[in-house]
Each structure stands twice: as C-alpha cells, then as structure tokens.
Amino acid sequence: MYNTSRRCRQLILFICALPFCATAHVPTVAERMQEAALELLQSLDAAQRSVVQYAWDDAARFRWSNLPASMVAPDGIRMVDLDDTQRQAVFRLLAASLSSQGYAKVTGIVRSDDVLRETMSPQVVANPTTDDEKFLAFLVAGYFSGNYGVAIYGDPAGSTWGWQIDGHHVGANFTVADGLVSFTPLFLGSNPMRLQSGPMAGWMPLPLEGRRGLDLLNSLDEEQRATAIISDEKPADILSGPGRQDSLSEYEGLKADRLSAPQMRLLKQLVAEYALNGATGDELIAVIEAADWEELHFSWHGPTGRDDAFYYRVHGPRVLIEYSRLNPNHEHTILRDPRNDFGADWLGKHYSESHPPLDKVMEDFRERAGIRSDD
C-alpha cells in the first residue's frame, strides 16, 4: 500500500511538471547573440561605445580585411583597448555567434598571431635603418592578438543588426534579420599553418580544411580528375577575398552530379567543415541542400601533394568555398553565400564590399613605416 501511494505521488508530480517543461523557452541563436551584444555595449563607457557602434547603414559594415593591423586598421575598437571584463564580453558574443568548432578555429587563429609575432621578432633589429628592416619591423608590429577590431552595426535591441570582428587572418561578418542569422562572408587563415617546434609542435588552428580537399581529389578517378584539375598553376591567393564578392560568377571543374555516393559524402564533409563554423551552420547546410548538392562544382589548381601549395574551390548557387595554401605553412580560406552575404537575400538588397587595392595598401604601409617610395 505504501509503495503504491508513493508511485502515485511521483506520477502526480511528474504530470504537474509537464506544462512547465512544455513551455520552457530555449533561447535561439539570434537571442543569445542579442543578449551578448547588449552585455558588451553595457560594459563600455560612452567614448568606447562611440568607437564600437555604427549606424546600421554605415558603409563600414561592408568594409573588412584579413590583413595585419599595421597594413589595414580594423574598424571598431581593438581588443587591446578593452579591459578584461570587456574582452570576456567579446568572446561571449563570439561564442554565441559561432559553433564550438568555429569558436575554436577563430580563437586559435587570434592566439597564433602572437606565435607569429614571437617567431618573427628575433629577425627585427632594434633600430631599423634600411627599407627592408623598417618594412619587417612595422609588419611584425601588426601581429598581435590585441589588434583585432570589433564593431557593431545598428542596435542589437532591435530586430536587424550586425557585428564584425576582423584582423590578421580573420574576417567574420554576422547579420541578424528578424531572428535569422547570417555568418558570411567568413575568412579564416593561419600562419603558421602548423607549429614546427615547442610544446605544441604540430598544433594547427585549421586542421582539416586542406585535408578535406585532398581527400575529395584523391577519391576521383582519372576521368573525373581530368575535369576537376583546371591548371598545374595555382592563383596567388583566394579570388573572392575582401571587396571582391562578385569576382567569381562562373562555375568551373567537376559537377557533383558525376560523383559516386562515397565521393558525395566526402564533398558534404568538406562543405560541413566550413558551413558548420557558424552557430546557424545547420541552416546554411539546409539551404545548400535545397538548392541541390548535385549543382555544386569542385575545381583544383596547382600540384596535388599533401605538402604542396595548392588551391581548390567548391561553388554552387548557395555556397562558395575557396582554399589557398600560399606556401607549405600558410593558408587562406573563405566561405560565402553568393545570394545572402551580409543577409542580402533576407533584406532584399545587394551590398557592395569595399577594400583598398593592395597597391594602395602597400603605398600607405611604406609611408607609415618611413620607407622611401619606389622610383
């Protein structure tokens, strides 16, 4: 009798709890981002907010760079100009905007800039006099985890806003529009690609991007490879970098409708390595699938060895991925949604990115470094 009554009480308590379980609200990605962005803004003083917050329609939202701060100063406020509490708020916003894999990649890249500075600092002379010495000193000064810029566009308390973090090897652009979240364009790179020495020798910020492309290429038969490999020479870098969102309008290479089922799985793994970096990466995958996986094209430029410098591209109606290995220990990547970068499709407007031409960047860099102009 006692056991029966006890079971009845437990059942009643369980049933009474059901309505509360059913109505519990799990925050969406947009809501988590909003909360973190407002927390960041509240941690800033008035002067800092005036630097970090832009109007929603400010052209700076479409101006980003992956170059070191000594070459192109990032918009917004630099991490070095924040205190510990404010930096923690930035990383909470980053964690709300990215998946765990994306967060690990971005923070690893930021940390690796300190490694790059430490590695190259012994090459910098104390009082540079020659142009080469000045160039190196000024360049290395830009390698620093504190040189990443954070900017917020619009009011996170509203339904439409965005934010951006960029600096050396990171260009991450987020747009929130009525609960929908875009995280493209997303540029990630690493130098060193792999640590060569020390307690963390072998560590890589981007461990799989290059390998995913090689895995797919090596799965192709001779006829497929002949179509996928466009050239024995690789481009100097990715082609749709900052300011060049419309530079690749034509597909090239092997169309995915020619892939076998195992090869298609490898293609999907490659795409997921990029698309699932965002907190809403599953939604981007669904969009790519709705546009049909078989509409994707895979192309390759350059040599095909594991340690070679090579380039590959995956391109379709709703995804553009480029990977460029500049040298055996330096790589660049970019993910774009050709229809919805910066939330363009949702907001019904095409946006034009801006970025100074590299020759202009170098001219300004030399001037600030005190280097004579080339005659």
Write down the pLDDT at residue 11: 53
Radius of gyration of the chain (CA): 23
User: HSE of 175 in the Cβ direction (CA atoms, 13 Å)?
Assistant: 19
Is 90 exceeded by the pLDDT of residue 1? no
Express each pLDDT in 207-235 by its tens digit. Answer: 999 999 999 999 999 999 999 999 999 99
Cβ 182 vs Cβ 346: under 8 Å: yes
- State residue 24's pLDDT score: 82
Determine the pLDDT at residue 10: 57
The string of pLDDT tens digits covering residues 176-187 is 999 999 999 999
**In the numeric block, which tokens belong to residue 27?**
């925050």
Determine the pLDDT at residue 8. Answer: 55
pLDDT tens for residues 75-84? 999 999 999 9
Other C-beta atoms within 10 Å of 292: how many? 13
Is the pLDDT at 28 greater than 70, yes or no? yes
**Do strands 77-78 and 149-153 pair parallel, antiparallel, or not at all (unpaired)?**
antiparallel
As given in the structure block, the two tokens for residue 162 are: 């965005």
Looking up tokens 């540029």, which residue turns up? Answer: 187
**DSSP type of residue 157:** T
Predicted local distance difference test score (pLDDT) of residue 9 = 58
pLDDT tens, position by position, 40-52: 999 999 999 999 9
Sort 221 into a burial class: Cβ within 10 Å, 0-12 / 13-18 / 19+. Answer: exposed
Q: How many helices and strands, by DSSP H and E, does the chain display?
A: 12, 13
Would you state the pLDDT for residue 373? 64
Statement: residue 2 has pLDDT above 80: no
Q: In what helix (H) or strand (E) does residue 23 lie, and over which residues does it extend?
A: helix 2-23
Q: What is the pLDDT of residues 259-284, one digit of tens each?
A: 999 999 999 999 999 999 999 999 99
Percentage of residues in the chain having pLDDT higher than 90:
79
Strands 297-301, 229-231: pairing is parallel
- Amino acid (one-letter) located at 232: D
Calpha distance 64→166 (Å, rounded)? 7
Check residue 353 and give its pLDDT: 92
Q: How confident is the model at residue 365 (pLDDT cuts 50, 70, 90)?
A: confident
More confident call, 305 vs 349: 305
Residue 22 has pLDDT above 70, yes or no: no
Give the per-residue pLDDT at 17: 52
Give 87's contacts (C-beta < 8 A, 6+ positions apart). 79
- Closest C-alpha among 274, 298, 294 to residue 284: 274
* Averaged confidence pLDDT in the chain: 92
Q: Are the CB atoms for 115 and 194 separated by under 8 Å?
A: no
Q: What is the pLDDT of residues 110-132, one digit of tens each?
A: 999 999 999 999 998 888 888 88
- Residue 334 contacts residue 189 (beta carbons within 8 Å): no
CA distance 93 to 35: 8
**CA distances from residue 70 to 5, 135, 139, 347 in whole angstroms, order as listed:** 74, 10, 6, 34
Q: Is 254 left (phi over 0), alpha (psi -120 to 50) or beta?
A: beta
- Please report the sign of the dihedral spanned by the C-alpha atoms of residue 104, residue 35, residue 287, residue 324: negative
User: By the 8 A CB rule, do 66 and 189 touch?
Assistant: yes
b/e map of 228-258 (b: 16 or more CB within 10 Å)? Answer: bbbeeebeeebebbbbebeebeebbbbbbeb
The Cα-based distances of 102 to 67, 80, 123, 188, 270 in angstroms read 20, 22, 32, 10, 14
Res. 323: pLDDT tops 60: yes
Q: How far is CA 210 from CA 73, 206, 350, in A?
A: 29, 8, 31
- Residues with Cβ within 8 Å of 254's Cβ and at least 6 positions away in sequence, in order, are 220, 224, 227, 228, 297, 298, 299
Q: 304 is written with which tokens?
A: 């095909």
- Contact at 8 Å (CB) between 38 and 156? yes
